[in-house]
Structure 1
Amino acid sequence: MRTPNEAPRFSIAVALLLGIGCGEGEAGLAPRTIDGFVERSTKIACVRQDAPSEAAGVVEDLVATSDSTFLVLYGLDRRVVHYRSDATPLFEVEFEENGPSGVKQPRSVALVDDSLLYITDVGRRQIKILDHAGRDRGVLRTDVPPSVVRSGPSGVLMAAFPLARGGAVARLVHVLDADAGAFRPLETPVAPFHDLRVEALANLIELTPLGDGTVIAAHQLITSRAFVIRPRGSGFTVRETTVPVPRAASRRLGKVPSELFEKEEIDEIATPVLAASHDRASGDYLYLTRTGRPGPEGGTEKAIIRATPDLEYLRSWILDVNAQRFAYLGKSRTAIVIDHDAGWHRCVLE
């Protein structure tokens, strides 16, 4: 059963997989493991805090917009709120399902040029653009269902929902050509699996722009594959690699349980990158993963890993909450964490 704040992209893909057999095989490069992970990690006590007064429903997306501000998309409420680090709102935008500001299936949000909100609409294959007042500022049509949208020094990028009507998509990451007003695919092919439903689950992407223009496109589930995308001239270079994972968690890579209704079975799915953020001061990449051990509140133990832009392990923190999403605010060295039950926490990464 879905918990109140379970990641929606994860839940949708799990639903596609009900009743299938076990899929094997880590796609692409061999996984990289972190030995002695528990001993090398710092255990931290997160502080639970009251949710913002306007917070309600499912947090569909959570992303840092600076070293002291973050953006939240409340999907079911069709609302976006931009917060300061103390969770007081800078601005709030509401939108409808239909009409000039309509978004039918909101999944992800990005703040572009500090003035515009780009909101993905999976079913309509488009990205809706709104200003701070909620006024319609146009729409970007996409050839594939847009799952994630992010903005950074390299522009606006989109990750495709990997299972489209009529079959799987060909490329996972797309970049906006501002002159043409359209997205073009980068050389980020899907990780192939025998069953299209497994392929859909394995190719859900967490997209994270870094301060130097690098973009990390990491698979969230089943495979630890990732792409390091860097601007070069008028284009981009793409390097395929893997994210380092705790050795105990690496045993689940490439495996899909045969039954996914039960929470215990969902917990067996490898989750190399459940969520990600970055440190604007150092340029480092931070990602939320499972340690491979039982965790608090009946869930699996989670940790935040800090890595270089080339995905080399630096250090890690084991959390005492069952985290599902986070945004890193570098000014206070704090991760704003939302747990499996929609609880809000502040975790200082000393």
Structure 2
Amino acid sequence: MKALLCNEPGSLSVVSRPEPVRAEGEVLVRIRHVGICGTDFHIFGGKHPFLEYPRVMGHELSGTVEEAGANSSLKKGDPVYIVPYLSCGTCQACRKGLTNACRNIRVLGVHCDGGMAEYLSVPEGNVVPTGNIPLEDAAMIEFLAIGAHGVKRGNLTSADRVLVTGSGPIGMSAIIFAKARGAHVTVMDTREDRLAFAVDRLSADQTIIANGDAEAEAERQTGGEWYDVVIDATGNATPIERGFNFLAHGARYVLLSVVRQDITFADPEFHKREATLIASRNAQPDDFAEVVRQIEAGRVPTRALNTHRGRLEDGPTLFTDWLKPEAGVIKAILEV
């Protein structure tokens, strides 16, 4: 089978690999679409903290069932999406239902080879029918679930004034689900085109250019009250640290992104505001279900989000091209 292999940072090649053999309790899936995530770009750039090379990337996956067990509810040809988090089921987190934070978790395309390949065999519990959602759209369910989980972690309500920093795909997913809860959402980014998209297509309420005047503009927009919830989706330590400046008294700060280095903040100011710092990792089954509900209800502009498409065999060239800011990528999807 064909697979797209990241040999080392900056090096991709299309290789031939044996097709996986389905184990008991697994489903063999013919991968049809793979969304390219910021995580994949970080892997390609050598910036991911949890990865060893070489690696077949890909964790935003949809396809069709190729083979399932005799007692499976799935049958050959069924359209499905894959939940890419392989949890152990026995650690303390799993026993509490926090499978997304499993102590022994393996994420497809990160800790083990993923779905930038023609076939993938995964536990049946990680394979979910797409229902009425087209396969290309189903490849976006996972990244949208990341934002849905972060919004849930922040316990957003319609009374909250929310700041989302970073308007890449994960930030956009946070905007979508914050608005679904009725929150007032401001988006901060360096790119005016992304900010315009957030307002025009995602119904964000206000925007801030992330320059040296951002704090002054936020203070002006909020009347000095700042934000009840700040959600970081930048993937960069400097704006994560800057995000503390925007917290209201009693605010929650949700970190959707993860970086290699330490982050620091002014402890006296943090305590004075009695702020809460919250990590948000992966997503849980109810987050995926929420995404499916919102897509089926027509509240997620999937076609507008999916700005770039290509074929798996062109991946080595496309990755380089799509990394360029002028490419204007929001969500790129490879057809396998």
The structure with the larger Rg is 2
Shorter chain as denominator, the TM-score bin is: under 0.3
TM-score for the superposition, normalised by structure 2: 0.27
Query: Which structure dedicates a bigger proportion of its chain to strand?
Result: 1
TM-score for the superposition, normalised by structure 1: 0.26
Query: Which structure dedicates a bigger proportion of its chain to helix?
Result: 2
